[in-house]
Amino acid sequence: MQTSRSAELFERARQVIPGGVNSPVRAFQAVGGTPRFIARAAGPHLFDVDGNRYVDLVCSWGPMLLGHAHPEVLAAVTKVAADGTSFGAPTELEVQLAAEIVDRAPVEQVRLVNSGTEATMSVLRLARGVTGRDKILKFAGCYHGHVDSLLVAAGSGAATLAIPGSPGVTVATTEDTIVCEYNDRDAVTAAFAEHGDSIACIITEAAPGNMGVIPPAVGPDGENFNAFLARTARAHGALFISDEVMTGFRVSRSGQFGLDGVAPDLMTFGKVMGGGFPAAAFGGSAELMSNLAPAGAVYQAGTLSGNPVATTAGLTTLRLATDDVYARIDAASQRLRGEVALALNEAGVPHVIQNSGNLFSVFFTDAGIPAVPDYATAKQQHVDRFRAFFHAMLDQGVYLPPSAFEAWFLSATHDDAVLTHIVEALPRAARAAAAA
């Protein structure tokens, strides 16, 4: 496989962009080798600048639910852009996108923003403003964007680079952040016993996908971990925030809420709802959201928030994301999970495959580990085996997320023929993992 043009561009990029990329995981640091510079994409495929074609299992880290360059999304975006791309004044499109989100998720109002990071940053300010409390509780391995106070034990990009938090994040910023292991009810109970009346909120990924996929566990009493968190927060006058930036409008029409039915106090959205453009949102009850400026005192704003181009891309994507789309992606995910397990078993590679709906990942664990319930366990996987697996897949034209700590993403365009291409590449990759 020819990669000289990508290599050349990467070298030039490193002169003018830190590390050569605008988001760390793109640099292939965890897997080594030359990051592919992408020239274009269509449906389930990426095409790099050397003319190689790949089946894409990253889908821009989630947004491309309908596949790349969907003709109807492109047509809608092109048409609306011709009428102006940003006004700094309200539009009907924003009302329509907000209404579409309110129709799907258990929220009454949303505020549109430009990135998932902005959504979680703003929702924390709102939770603190409303409760008058400072502390927040988050989970190790959950990533909520690069918000300072949340950049503690923060999964994927940070996990990949083994950065504990980050230089530049002050002690003062993070000392109000309490970190528990995911799925650890005793730790949450203990944190509330100690700090209960100063905790503003619990924030969690609805089903974590940024340390690999770790679904909320169901306890011995049948209570889902999200339900436990909601109950515990409310018992102490704190708010339960579900970050659905990754899962929202992806794992079901209504995201993780559509799977486990736990209604949070506040939610964040991003990725799919932008349809490949910068758009995100946070929302909750009208009562809570009315604390935001200009209705209330908690300040939040954005020059490009709700701009017609991103709003149209998101709205068109959501309107095309029908039950049939979710059914197809669910089926594709199920087939692929089965085939990956088959290939790894055949090659004798120990592993755990976990999913929440169609979102799934593969952990290259030691033998005898039945499940990965938390970040401490996720971190024990053999990244060298993943690295070998990743490159063998890439050589065969399958573009996996370039880190062992990431979810695999499918789109409605990953049809049987495309899945078969992936399946045929698996045995060689599994043997490469076994040999690593």
Binding site for ligand PLP (CB under 6 A): 115-117, 120, 143-145, 205, 210, 243, 245-246, 270, 280
The smaller minimum CB distance to ligand PLP, of residues 107 and 429, is found at 107
With left for phi above 0 and alpha for psi between -120 and 50, is residue 59 left, alpha or beta?
left
CB of 277 to ligand PLP, least distance (A): 11
Would you say 130 and 239 are in contact if contact means Cβ atoms under 8 Å apart?
yes
Compare residues 46 and 241 and give the one whose CB is closer to ligand PLP: 241
Which of 156, 232 has the CB closer to ligand PLP? 156
Q: How near is the Cβ of 250 to ligand PLP at its closest, in Å?
A: 10
Could you say which of 271, 326, 374, 399 is catalytic? 271
User: Exactly one of 48, 54, 143, 374 is catalytic; which is it?
Assistant: 143
Residue 145 CB, shortest distance to ligand PLP, in Å, is: 3
138 Rama class: left (phi>0) / alpha (psi -120 to 50) / beta: beta
Closest residue to ligand PLP using C-beta atoms = 116
Report, in Å, the least distance between residue 316 CB and ligand PLP.
19
Write phi, then psi, for 201 (nearest 5 degrees): -165, 155
Residue that the structure tokens 């659905």 belong to: 244
Catalytic, 243? Answer yes
Q: Of 100, 125, 375, 393, give the one whose Cα is nearest residue 254.
A: 100
Rg of the chain over Cα atoms, rounded to whole angstroms, equals 21
Estimate to the nearest angstrom the gap between the alpha carbon of 43 and the chain centroid.
20
Candidate list 48, 176, 184, 243, residue with the active-site label: 243
Which is closer to ligand PLP, CB of 37 or CB of 409?
409
> Which is closer to ligand PLP, CB of 128 or CB of 144?
144
CB of 108 to ligand PLP, least distance (A): 22
Scored b (16 or more CB within 10 A) or e, 218-255 reads eeeeeebbbbbbbebbeebebbbbbbbbbbbbbbbbbb
330 part of the active site: no
Under 8 Å CB-to-CB from 187, ≥6 apart: which residues?
Answer: 180, 181
Q: Which residues are catalytic?
A: 143, 243, 271
